């Protein structure tokens, strides 16, 4: 698969502050810059059913936005008119080689963030957050993922709250809201 062509043709959906699509879209890569417009995205945390470990991933070093940074399992943008759940499953299959996610559920439906600049790029997303389960190890796409590991929630809690770790802005920001929500509060 020619991933550069796919990245060049993907479009982001611009939204209002409440996450309502404006009817406008923009090319994914060109839409991310120092003054990125608010657009629709998602984050997903994949847990391993057998031991409740969390899958964290390192973004590939050549990615335009936040390259080499460790983050939650999978992030992405729904295509125009694509349901968020469908987009999560599509990106988990494409990025992680996980064709099946079980018990996919939206745990933070109105999460929204804007990052400080990172290598000249600002993320600005209305980004519902999902949790899902699997018992399959990922087979990541090297165009998207530079590394991965399973980590216990207790170890993740220590790691994500350590200011010296190379965690993504959004994973740190989401943690404050996720830690008290199921399924994370029960781990």
Residue ranges of the binding site for Mg(2+): 95
Question: Is 127 assigned a catalytic role?
Answer: no
Check 44, 85, 125, 127 and give the catalytic one.
Answer: 125
With vertex at residue 13, the alpha carbon angle to CA 122 and CA 93, rounded to the nearest 5 degrees, is: 90
Distance from C-alpha of 12 to C-alpha of 32, rounded to nearest angstrom: 10
Binding site, annotated residues: 32, 39, 77, 95, 123, 125
Interhelix angle for 153-161 vs 169-178, to 10°?
Answer: 120
Q: What is the CA radius of gyration of the chain?
A: 15
Task: Sheet containing 21-27: give its strands across.
Answer: 21-27, 11-15, 39-40, 124-126, 112-114
Q: Is 85 a catalytic residue?
A: no
Distance of alpha carbon 17 from alpha carbon 9, whole angstroms: 25
List, by residue number, the catalytic residues: 75, 125
């Amino acid at each position: 698969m020619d991933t550069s062509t796919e990245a060049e043709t993907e479009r982001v959906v611009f939204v209002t502050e409440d996450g309502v699509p404006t009817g406008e879209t923009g090319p994914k890569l060109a839409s991310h810059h120092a003054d990125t417009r608010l657009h629709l995205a998602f984050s997903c945390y994949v847990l391993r059913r057998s031991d409740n470990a969390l899958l964290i991933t390192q973004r590939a070093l050549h990615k335009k936005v936040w390259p080499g940074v460790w983050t939650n399992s999978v992030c992405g943008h729904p295509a125009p008119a694509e349901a968020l759940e469908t987009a999560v499953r599509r990106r988990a299959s494409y990025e992680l080689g996980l064709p099946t996610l079980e018990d996919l559920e939206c745990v933070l439906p109105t999460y929204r963030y804007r990052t400080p600049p990172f290598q000249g790029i600002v993320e600005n997303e209305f980004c519902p957050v999902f949790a899902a389960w699997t018992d399959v190890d990922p087979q990541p796409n090297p165009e998207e993922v530079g590394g991965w590991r399973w980590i216990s929630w207790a170890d993740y809690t220590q790691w994500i709250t350590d200011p010296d770790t190379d965690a993504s802005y959004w994973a740190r920001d989401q943690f404050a809201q996720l830690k008290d929500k199921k399924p994370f509060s029960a781990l």
